[in-house]
């Protein structure tokens, strides 16, 4: 690891599992209780906005009951102390990375605590319940603020910045993601094509496990602090 200077970290729902935020896939996953097409597509929102807004309102409210775990905190420490380039790209819409101290962070699938007004395009921090159809703070229009979440069929945020970081990183690390959803699932191949070392830390082998130089299986709350300690030693 001596030549590592630029790092890209990709995180998924698995990093927040030990904080009590449910993952998507698997026996107790969020998608077990809901059909993706009912709550996480623009079509679902058009068809039944109450159902969709309530789904995200409940997830937003739950954020007040959870806290960052040692994996989030370790990445916060890496961010504070790593003198090279670092970009933490999360697919998660919770705010646990921020609360764990991460600053060089990008939410590629949006954020629960952000609202997007479909009338004027304004995006800003949002607390409370969208199902109550609050007025947009920028344009005053009521009932037009939707979750600032990238739904299936929509384009993830800041892909240019992510691609640029992947093409210049020396190490790509994937934590707690099943590798089921593109484009994030393809980041390992992009990083490898540009010559990066690649490391995965996940509870089970992800769908793209074989693309990584190294896979460590276990809990993020244990594996990530160990890895960060090594990187900073």
Site residues (vs ligand APR, CB under 6 A): 12-14, 17-18, 23-25, 29, 91, 109, 176-178, 180-181, 202-204, 206, 219-220
Contact 130, 53 (CB under 8 A): yes
Locus of tokens 């998608």: 31
By C-beta, is 126 or 151 nearer to ligand APR? Answer: 151
Locus of tokens 């806290």: 67
Q: Nearest approach, Cβ of 40 to ligand APR (angstroms)?
A: 7
Burial 60-96 (b: 16+ CB within 10 A, else e): beebeebebbbbbbbbbbbbeebeeebbbbbbbbbbb
Q: Which residue has its beta carbon closest to ligand APR? A: 14
By C-beta, is 119 or 203 nearer to ligand APR? Answer: 203
Given the residues 72, 97, 107, 109, the one annotated as active site: 109
By C-beta, is 24 or 227 nearer to ligand APR? Answer: 24
Q: Nearest approach, Cβ of 127 to ligand APR (angstroms)?
A: 21
Catalytic, 109? Answer yes
Q: Nearest approach, Cβ of 151 to ligand APR (angstroms)?
A: 8
As beta bridge partners, residue 172 has 8, 198
Q: For helices 70-81 and 220-232, give the axis angle rounded to 10 degrees.
A: 20
Q: Give dist(CA 140, CA 7) in Å, integer.
A: 42
Contact 49, 42 (CB under 8 A): no
Q: Nearest approach, Cβ of 71 to ligand APR (angstroms)?
A: 7
Catalytic residues: 109
């Amino acid at each position: 690891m001596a030549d590592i200077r630029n790092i890209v970290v990709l995180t998924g729902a698995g990093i927040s599992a030990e904080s009590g935020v449910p993952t998507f896939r698997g026996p107790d996953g969020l998608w077990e209780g809901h059909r993706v097409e009912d709550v996480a597509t623009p079509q679902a929102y058009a068809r039944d906005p109450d159902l969709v807004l309530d789904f995200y309102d409940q997830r937003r409210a739950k954020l007040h009951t959870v806290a960052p775990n040692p994996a989030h905190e370790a990445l916060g420490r890496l961010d504070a102390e790593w003198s090279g380039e670092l970009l933490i790209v999360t697919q998660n819409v919770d705010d646990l990375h921020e609360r764990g101290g991460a600053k060089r962070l990008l939410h590629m699938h949006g954020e629960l605590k952000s609202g997007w007004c479909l009338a004027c395009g304004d995006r800003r921090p949002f607390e409370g319940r969208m199902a109550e159809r609050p007025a947009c703070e920028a344009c005053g229009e009521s009932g037009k603020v939707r979750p600032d979440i990238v739904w299936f069929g929509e384009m993830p945020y800041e892909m240019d910045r992510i691609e640029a970081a992947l093409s210049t990183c020396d190490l790509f690390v994937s934590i707690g993601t099943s590798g089921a959803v593109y484009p994030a699932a393809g980041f390992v191949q992009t990083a490898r094509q540009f010559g990066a070392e690649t490391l995965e830390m996940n509870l089970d082998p992800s769908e793209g496990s074989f693309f990584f130089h190294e896979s460590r299986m276990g809990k993020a709350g244990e594996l990530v602090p160990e890895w960060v300690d090594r990187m900073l030693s």
